[in-house]
Structure 1
Amino acid sequence: MEEELKWIQEVLTGNKQAYSHIIDKYKNLLYATVLRMTKNPQIAQDLVQEAFIKVYHQLGKFDHKGSFSSWIYRVTINHCMDEFRKKSYQLKQVQINEERVEDSNHPEIILLKKEKSRQLERLISTLPEDERLIILLRYVNELSYEEISELVEVPLSGVRNKLHRAKKKMRETINREGGYFYELSEGR
């Protein structure tokens, strides 16, 4: 955090090169988040570039009350949501990266893991947009409840409630349709 504050100060005092450090630190994390929202690499790349421009111009508005990472996520997600509304994009289902599936030489294991990923992707895609976003931020981006609350500007209790409701809906779908997710179907 101290390093980020140093970079922010340098940018604000005219050293535009210091902004490259911020971009390097956050470009992959922001791209992964936006890609999961859009499910389109080109659109995700464009939105992240636009978000970095917006962050640059709003850097003076960072108030140091929360973490910089939460702030930059919030600016990026707000930018994306604005663009979705403008261009009538729909948040598409989350895509689980199948290359991240554990390597195993046994074809049946690979097939089962891919099927489980597809089922999870489908389950998440059935959730309302706000719950889907909170699930992604919590379990894909591994943000804390506090960071999510700050990012989506929902009280902490609201984040917990939305997360609980989303998992409950996923459990109900599993119980109704069957599936691989023992941990969800058993209410864990």
Structure 2
Amino acid sequence: MDEDVAFINQVLTGDKQAYTHIINKYKNSLYATVLRMMKNPQTAQDLLQEAFVKAYEQLPKFDQKGSFKSWLYRVTINHCLDTLRKKSYQVKQEEIQDEQLVNAASPEIIFLKREKNRELERLIARLPEQERLILLLRYANDCSYVEISELLHIPLSDVRNKLHRAKKKLRTKIEEGGYFDDLSKRG
């Protein structure tokens, strides 16, 4: 029996503390996903907390046929998409704080790398919603194509095609030049 299923069974039999293990296991990767969707750290924290509550309430509906990770991501992504739709929430292009870069040679190099990362975030944010989600799930959260297919309820071939299309669009934007291209030549 998988660890997630064991904790789920404990929760369903009344041990509410077992849910803490699930939260601790998935909170960082889910937060990264929500943050990239919402572009606002405070909103991301709030929505993640709401998604964990929603998942807790819906645990009896988890049929244990598919992976719990996929199910939990689906609940979280749906909650974010519902929030965006219901409130007509305008996703702000707020800067996401980068983690401290280590082993950088100089403050100038650190600055240039951060700028490259910010520009890449901006380019990714301009992708269509589903392409952006697929790219995020694949590379930021290490989800397999099959998991992404399950999460987004789309055929596996669509996952491959949309991921290919998203990467091609990013490459084209980078090759077109501009600020990102200048940074890549310097750094």
TM-score band, normalised by shorter chain: 0.7 to 0.9
Identity of aligned residues (%): 66
Q: Whole-Å Cα distance in 1 between the matches of residues 43 and 112 of structure 2?
A: 31
Alpha-carbon distance, 1:144 to partner: 1.1
Q: Distance in 1 between matches of 2:130 and 2:91?
A: 10
* Aligned CA distance change for structure 1 residues 160 and 92 (closer, same or farther; 3 Å): farther
Greater RCO, 1 or 2 (C-alpha within 8 Å, sep 6+):
2
Report the secondary structure of 1:58's partner residue: helix
1:78 to 2:111 alignment: no
Aligned length: 182
Aligned partners of 2:119, 2:85: CA distance in 1, in Å?
28
List aligned pairs for 1:1-188, cutoff 5 A. Answer: 2-92=2-92, 97-178=97-178, 179=181
Give the structure-1-normalised TM-score.
Answer: 0.87
Offset of residue 74 of structure 1:
0.6
Runs of 5+ unmatched residues, structure 2: none
How far the C-alpha of 1:123 sits from its partner, in A, is 1.5
Q: Which amino acid aligns with 2:26?
A: Y
Partners of 2:5 and 2:100 lie apart in 1 by 33
Task: Note if contact 1:92-1:125 (Cα within 8 Å) is conserved in structure 2.
Answer: no
Unaligned runs of 5+ in 1: 183-188
Give the drift of 1:90. Answer: 3.8
Tell me, what secondary structure is at the counterpart of 1:99? coil
Q: CA RMSD in A?
A: 2.1
Deviation at 1:55, TM superposition (A): 0.6
Deviations 1:141-175 (A, max 9, x none): 12111111111111111011111111111122122
TM-score, length basis structure 2: 0.87
Deviation string 1:63-96 (CA, Å, 9 cap, x unpaired) is 2222111110111101111111011124455966
